[in-house]
Copies of this chain bind each other. A is one copy, B any other.
Amino acid sequence: MSVNDTLAVSANSFFIPVVSVVGVGLIGGSFAKALKNGGHVGCVLGVGRDQASLERALQLGLIDRIATLEEAGRESDFILISTPASVLGRVCETLGPLLKSTAIMTDACSTKVQVIQDARQSLGVRVNQFIPGHPIAGSDESGPAAADPLLYWNRNVILTPLPENSTNDLKQVRQCWQACGALVREISAIEHDRIFATVSHFPHYLSALYMYMVSRSDSSGMALALAGTGFRDFTRIAGGSPEMWRDIFISNRQAMLKEIDAFMPALEETRQMIENSDAQGLHAWLEQASVARKKWGENK
């Protein structure tokens, strides 16, 4: 039995005639391919702004047809919006009036509170058809060529359902992600944004701000020549898309500000320990950090 057979069997059996993916890159393309491999969809429509990218997705068999957003709105039974968070509102504005009454929409944006606010404003009462989601999967690569039907295998997908969502629609979204091999969890949008500010957005901010500071320092040439493996790992995330991270920081503004405002006094306090050569004070938090990191590593 191949992995794909396992995927098809492990999720409940279901079939969706027309699935649309708005934004056919790594995230959307991988989702479409996994559902197609599992035999769960009749036809996948691909929507996007970049024609070359859509044609590549078609060649790769990620989608069956290139469609306009309007066509996707009218024809789809299930729509995954895997665009940057900043355009989700506009996408929903176009889709909303065209949707079948039984159609289900979900998204893949990294923040949820702002996205839900945008969706609510654009969709009005039809927001009941939108189940917000966030697959925790990524790669340094992007675009349809990087799409991989196993991208979500054993990875977390967070759903942050709205009070308006029906149990059946929620179940269908769960089934789709489970068919991709993902572990589906439900939490509130506020909790989601707070947690991802902590474990993803704030580390990205620190890493990128640090890399920015190094790149503009007087001795950056020599410094970068001597930087080693610690530097390499600490700054890897700083290479990410500036557009995507700008949108995430703004979209998750409140939780980001909380992280920064908690970090500043800790910087002040530990700076003082260094200035005072306070060996005991430094050791205490360094040890807690080291123990916590090692424990986390063992559980992964």
Contacts and interface: CB of A to CB of B under 8 A. Distances in A.
Contacts of A274: 249-250, 253, 256-257, 260
Contacts of A125: none
Interface string A119-161: 0000000000000000011100000000000000000101000
Interface string A213-236: 111110100111011111111111
B200 A228 contact: yes
A300 to B, nearest CB: 7
A299 B271 CA distance: 33
Given A240-B290, A249-B282, A266 B227 contact: no
Contact of A209 (B136, B200, B246, B266): B266
A165 interface: no
Given A270-B205, A271-B260, A274-B260, A246 B293 contact: no
Nearest to A155: B228
Interface residues of A, number: 87
Nearest to A198: B223
A297 interface: yes
Interface of A: 136-138, 156, 158, 185, 187, 191, 194-196, 198-200, 202-217, 219, 222-224, 226-243, 245-246, 249-250, 253, 256-257, 260-264, 266-267, 270-271, 274-275, 277, 279, 282-283, 285-290, 292-294, 296-297, 299-300
24 contacts: A138-B228, A138-B230, A156-B226, A198-B214, A203-B210, A208-B285, A208-B290, A209-B285, A230-B236, A232-B300, A233-B236, A234-B234, A234-B236, A235-B293, A238-B292, A239-B290, A242-B287, A245-B286, A246-B286, A249-B282, A257-B274, A260-B271, A261-B271, A264-B264
